[in-house]
């Protein structure tokens, strides 16, 4: 008799955040038709991107200004995502990021076409070298943002392109990159996450220090390798006692709650003898911290996600700085065109 399919809680969470971001980006058009959602009306995609918080951090710390289009909301989201990564690793990538979900959903078509060959096309030696690429992207993005004071990466950002392609405001390089990633996802699972995402690169570092790790119990493991085969990031889980790979996105597909057939064999645990956390508990804590953090800062009056075109904000709001940011933003707009 076929085993009943396990409830896919992660898919529900991914659908929720994907729909939310799609609604936010569609809201301007909806508002023009008199159907806008008031809570979302003045919110921009960049103000809701936790990587925007990372990008603006240097400029904010040194000048008191946000890089144009970013806001305090992005810094709050960045802090919440870092806290979650410290607890559970990059759960943002595996559960919340709509661009990660998009690649996974395209990948389902690839799995149907290529079956077991899917996600196995790139030779391991080439794959190993390519995995360092995203650290180069991270250093480049942070450097150009700090030097220019503008979100130059937005001209290439495929996440932005996915949710805004129909508005006519997306730069051509970003659309081309989105097309390559979409086609690439038919052959390789999450190609952007694996090889190019600067935020994934940064969050991946938390896999070395996360409190709740993924542990394999060698006494009950039967070496069936289902954990390794189910890993979207091609991590050889069944050869490790603890998953510490920089590539892990904390999707938990490998665990006994999902694809490992042996109960309590691949588990989430702080230490070998400490209590095991089910994936449902991890999800509840994650959503409580993330959504609770957003509503908590709204209640405290700290949250602000209004569209911030001029790079304003902060205590040193001098005209000179405003002009510098404006000039750089105009350069940015020209590049985008
Ligand atoms: S899926 Fe579970 S039993 Fe199979 S190799 Fe991995 S940890 Fe061991
Ligand atoms: S090791 Fe497990 S949790 Fe990490 S990416 Fe692979 S399947 Fe997901």
Give the per-residue pLDDT at 13: 98
Q: Supply the residue whose CA is at minimum distance from atom 2 of ligand 1.
A: 260
Specify the pTM. 0.89
DSSP code, position 243? -
Ligand 2 center to 24 CA (angstroms): 30
Q: Let me know if 273 is exposed, middle or buried by CB neighbors in 10 A (0-12, 13-18, 19+).
A: exposed
- What confidence tens digit (pLDDT) does each residue in 132-143 have? 999 999 999 999
Q: What is the mean pLDDT of residues 28-55?
A: 77
Give the per-residue pLDDT at 47: 82
Q: What is the mean pLDDT of residues 154-176?
A: 90
How would DSSP label each residue in 266-308?
Answer: EEEESSTTSPEEPHHHHHHHHHHHHHHHHHHHHHTT----B--
Q: Supply the residue whose CA is at minimum distance from atom 4 of ligand 1.
A: 224
Whether 33 has a pLDDT exceeding 90, the answer reads: no
- Is residue 311 very low, low, confident or very high in pLDDT (cuts 50, 70, 90)? low
Give the per-residue pLDDT at 155: 86
Q: What is the mean pLDDT of residues 55-71?
A: 86
CA distance 87 to 198: 20
Q: What is the mean pLDDT of residues 184-192?
A: 98
Among all ligands shown, which has an atom nearest to the Cα of 231? 2
Q: Supply the residue whose CA is at minimum distance from atom 1 of ligand 2.
A: 248
Q: Let me know if 41 is exposed, middle or buried by CB neighbors in 10 A (0-12, 13-18, 19+).
A: middle
Among all ligands shown, which has an atom nearest to the Cα of 264? 1
Give the per-residue pLDDT at 113: 97
Q: Let me know if 52 is exposed, middle or buried by CB neighbors in 10 A (0-12, 13-18, 19+).
A: buried
Give the per-residue pLDDT at 29: 73
Give the per-residue pLDDT at 337: 41
Among all ligands shown, which has an atom nearest to the Cα of 224? 1
Q: Supply the residue whose CA is at minimum distance from atom 3 of ligand 1.
A: 221
Q: What is the mean pLDDT of residues 273-301?
A: 96
Whether 217 has a pLDDT exceeding 70, the answer reads: yes
- Is residue 152 very low, low, confident or very high in pLDDT (cuts 50, 70, 90)? confident
Ligand 2 center to 171 CA (angstroms): 33
Whether 336 has a pLDDT exceeding 70, the answer reads: no
Ligand 1 center to 109 CA (angstroms): 26
Give the per-residue pLDDT at 317: 38
Q: Which residue has the higher pLDDT, 60 or 3?
A: 60
Ligand 1 center to 270 CA (angstroms): 19
Provide the 3-class DSSP secondary structure of residue 24.
helix
Give the per-residue pLDDT at 58: 84
Which residues are bridge partners to 16 per DSSP? none
Ligand 1 center to 42 CA (angstroms): 48
Whether 319 has a pLDDT exceeding 70, the answer reads: no
Instruction: Answer yes or no: is the C-beta of 222 below 6 A from any ligand 1 atom.
Output: yes
The domain ranges of the chain are 9-214+286-336
Let me know the angle formed at the C-alpha of 143 by 138 and 145, rounded to the nearest 5 degrees.
100
Question: Residue 89's closest CA among 244, 306, 310?
Answer: 244
Q: Which residue has the higher pLDDT, 64 or 310?
A: 64
Q: What is the mean pLDDT of residues 47-62?
A: 87
Q: What is the mean pLDDT of residues 225-254?
A: 97
- Is residue 5 very low, low, confident or very high in pLDDT (cuts 50, 70, 90)? confident
- Is residue 3 very low, low, confident or very high in pLDDT (cuts 50, 70, 90)? low
Which residues have C-beta atoms less than 6 Å from ligand 2?
214, 230-233, 235, 237, 243, 248-254
Give the per-residue pLDDT at 180: 98
């Amino acid at each position: 008799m076929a085993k009943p399919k396990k409830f896919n809680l992660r898919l529900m969470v991914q659908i929720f955040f994907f729909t939310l971001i799609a609604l936010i980006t569609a809201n301007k058009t909806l508002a023009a038709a008199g159907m806008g959602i008031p809570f979302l009306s003045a919110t921009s995609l960049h103000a809701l991107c936790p990587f925007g918080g990372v990008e603006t951090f240097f400029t904010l710390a040194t000048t008191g200004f946000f890089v144009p289009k970013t806001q305090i909301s992005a810094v709050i989201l960045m802090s919440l995502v870092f806290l979650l990564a410290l607890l559970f690793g990059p759960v943002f990538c595996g559960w919340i990021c709509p661009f990660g979900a998009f690649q996974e959903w395209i990948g389902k078509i690839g799995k149907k076409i290529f079956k077991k060959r899917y996600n196995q096309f790139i030779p391991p030696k080439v794959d190993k070298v390519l995995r360092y690429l995203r650290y180069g992207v991270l250093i480049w993005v942070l450097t150009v943002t700090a030097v220019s004071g503008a979100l130059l990466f937005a001209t290439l950002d495929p996440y932005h392109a996915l949710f805004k392609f129909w508005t006519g405001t997306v730069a051509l390089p970003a659309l081309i990159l989105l097309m390559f990633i979409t086609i690439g996802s038919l052959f390789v699972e999450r190609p952007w996450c694996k090889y190019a995402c600067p935020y994934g690169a940064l969050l991946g570092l938390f896999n070395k220090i996360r409190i709740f790790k993924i542990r394999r119990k060698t006494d009950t493991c039967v070496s069936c390798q289902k954990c390794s085969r189910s890993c979207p990031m091609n991590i050889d889980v069944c050869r490790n006692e603890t998953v510490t790979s920089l590539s892990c996105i904390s999707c938990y597909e490998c665990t006994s709650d999902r694809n490992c057939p042996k109960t309590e064999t691949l588990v989430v645990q702080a230490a070998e003898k400490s209590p095991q956390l089910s994936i449902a508990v991890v999800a509840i804590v994650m959503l409580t911290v993330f959504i609770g953090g957003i509503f908590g800062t709204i209640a405290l009056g700290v949250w602000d996600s209004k569209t911030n075109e001029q790079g304003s904000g902060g205590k040193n709001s001098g005209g000179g700085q405003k002009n510098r940011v404006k000039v750089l933003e105009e350069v940015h707009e020209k590049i985008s065109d």
